[in-house]
Amino acid sequence: MIKPQQFLILFLSILPSITSQQPITCNQSCPGYQTNPVQYPFGFSSGCEIPLNCTPNGEVFIGEFSVQQLNPDSLLVSLPAKCGRLINTLTNLYSDHYAPMSSNAILMENCTAQMKNCMIPMTTLRTHLEIVNCSGAQGGDGNVSCYSSDVTRMFLDYGNVTSMGCRFLFSGVATEMIGNSPAISLDIQVVRLGWWRRGGCDCSVDAECTKIVSPVDGSDGHRCSCKSGFAGDGYKAGSGCRSMKGSSGCNPSKYFSGHCGGTGRIGVLVGAVFVGASLIVCIGLIICYIRRRSILRSRSRVSRQFYQAKGITIPIYTYKEIEKATNCFSEKQRLGTGAYGTVYSGKLHNGEWVAIKRIKHRSDCDDSIDQVMNEIRLLSSVSHPNLVRLLGCSVDKDEQILVYEFMPNGTLCQHLQKERGNGLPWLVRLTIATETAQAIAYLHSNLDPPIYHRDVKSSNILLDYSYTTKVADFGLSRLGIMESSHISTAPQGTPGYLDPEYHQNFHLSDKSDVYSFGVVLVEIITAFKALDFSRRHNEVNLAALAVDRIKRGCLDEIIDPSLEHNKDTWTYSSIHKVAELAFRCLAFHSEMRPSMAEVAAELERIRVSREENTSLSLDGTNHSSVSIVNEKQISQEVKIDESDKKGLLNNMNSTDEQNVSPNYADDRWLSESSSPLSSGRLGSGSKV
């Protein structure tokens, strides 16, 4: 007979084995964040067969890589472009349960073997992906190579990828066939991973099994999927498969008849709940109907304004088309935010990449609509190679959206601040300044009535694939004929670029654009910001700083060192000539400033002087140059006699405190860049 002491000892000895056999659970929801559960066999705990990680904000990771999509047969994992990422990082994409599929193209750096079998042409990659030149040199596609394998195989072989002798993993591109057509869709900076369960088929009765050979160790694996007419994950250990044909559960009629169990009292309670819910639904429908009618009336009024507006001939897109092009206005495709809206990159149904500007909702809705119509009318009425081109708009669903041509090389401001690239050489900067002046001069002098831009700044000067200048953002423009009778007290323009006379008469004119362009010229010479509160108090305003140095003959103190202005006579001379022109543009009194036509002609003359000097040094002959400014404008000589120069200097001395007082920098108007930004790199030779 077993004594009580012996029984207690026996129980304590087998207790650990009993507790160790408790079933291990898998948490399929992100802890601390309410999201839909992920499908079996994925989960967020150690007991899951394929464990995932998640952040407090609900973002899902597999290893160190963000999961964008989780499909029944694959994972779409983010692999952002990055220089210097070791090739060994690729091992994190291979495990006992997943590996990169053969439909991927892997981009790598510093490869010793030459790759010629990439399924994606490099020209296409240049269009869709910022091929960063990781070597730091200018021109070409840098040292990035593309690898892809035979698509008849299911997975990329790790040994074949690493045999190319590449040192770094740059990024990836996932491809997918579109239906039965030869076209393919590209998912940039992502990799598609195929996944499987280890071992032989373990599917439910109504599921089909796909056998898989692991590319990692050659072991057997499988995936399950429910047959047609069934829903579920298809695994015995998961939810299995359930029929979609009807349901054997109780319906409302059975509940009321008592066939589902319970008493008549429960039926009465259910009936009361049903009546109350119906009443709430009816009230909600009435409110929605009234709101919808109000929205439709407003939308109809806006649409009529757009369709009836004279001079608007661009396509009008539906909201659904715009939403699809921007992936529902994804934050990943946001390019920038400005005073009047946010700009996203988008891909239209015809494959064209565009910049999409979503106008902000304002309390003064009529003014917002007028703002959009004004910009559309202006951009539709002008045609110049250095003005940004409007491709379409949308006024659907109470939204005002503008579609612009895509500018892959960002803004002049970004290049000057070296947020993109390593800066621009002087000849490129001078050419950009000349083209910008020609575009503004075209608005002032070649149109009747003239158009004033009213927000000229370096962040509104965009650069296309070949670094050709495109002046953007006509959101504050007005037809010149309206200015004679309209005075506005609302803030116009951007602090640091704003005409100082505006604070006296609240009136902006063509000479206001000249002043703003003078600030841009100083930015081009110095690579300083127009307003920088990290500078000394009396140098916060760049216009103040530049005027002071030019008057004291100390321009060399603020010239951008990367320009190497002392390397040759022409560079030194041209920089000083442009500075003198900027000095004239920054005159406090507008009548002392030159016209934009004179500014454009002078810049063209400075730029062409280099070509003339080069031609004379080569063959002793002079060559003519063609300018976008018309002959009438170029024929205007920018001449100031000594008395004019003296008067100008006296005027600058007497008004310097008003002109460039740091008080103007204290205006707190939000004015961020809203220009379309994208990838690109200055080609060799600095040709524009």
Output the known binding site for ATP: 357
100 in helix, strand or coil?
strand
The number of beta carbons lying within 10 Å of the beta carbon of residue 100 is: 25
| Residue list for the binding site | 357
For 255-267, letters b (16+ CB in 10 Å) and e give beeeebeeeeeee
Residue 187 and residue 629: Cα distance in Å, rounded?
A: 43
DSSP assigned state of 95: -
* Angstrom distances, CA of residue 207 to CA of 210, 236, 238, 243, 518: 10, 10, 12, 11, 72
606 in helix, strand or coil?
helix
Helix (H) or strand (E) holding 78: strand 74-78
**Continuous H helices in 1-82:** 4-20
Quick check: 523 and 542 in contact, CB under 8 A? yes
Which amino acid, 11?
F
Residue 378 and residue 286: Cα distance in Å, rounded?
A: 42
Helix (H) or strand (E) holding 649: helix 642-659
Q: What stretches of 295-378 adopt beta strand conformation (E)?
A: 334-337, 341-347, 353-359
Tokens of 533: 């509160």
Q: What stretches of 339-493 adopt beta strand conformation (E)?
A: 341-347, 353-359, 390-394, 401-405, 451-452, 461-463, 469-471, 478-479
- Say which residue the tokens 């009008």 belong to: 316
Q: Would you list the DSSP string of 221-272?
A: EEEEEEPTTEES--BTTTT--EE-S---S--HHHHHHTTTSS-HHHHHHHHH
Residue 308 and residue 272: Cα distance in Å, rounded?
A: 53
* Angstrom distances, CA of residue 139 to CA of 9, 132, 386, 580: 80, 11, 23, 33
Q: Which residues contact 446 (CB under 8 A, 6 or more apart)?
A: 630
Quick check: 632 and 456 in contact, CB under 8 A? no
Which amino acid, 114?
Q
Q: What is the CA radius of gyration of the chain?
A: 33
Quick check: 115 and 147 in contact, CB under 8 A? yes
Residue 580 and residue 603: Cα distance in Å, rounded?
A: 11
Please return the burial class of 45, using the count of CB atoms within 10 Å of its CB with bins 0-12, 13-18 and 19+: middle
Residues belonging to the active site: 455
Quick check: 474 and 468 in contact, CB under 8 A? no
CA dihedral sign, ordered 227, 228, 229, 233: positive
The number of beta carbons lying within 10 Å of the beta carbon of residue 130 is: 17
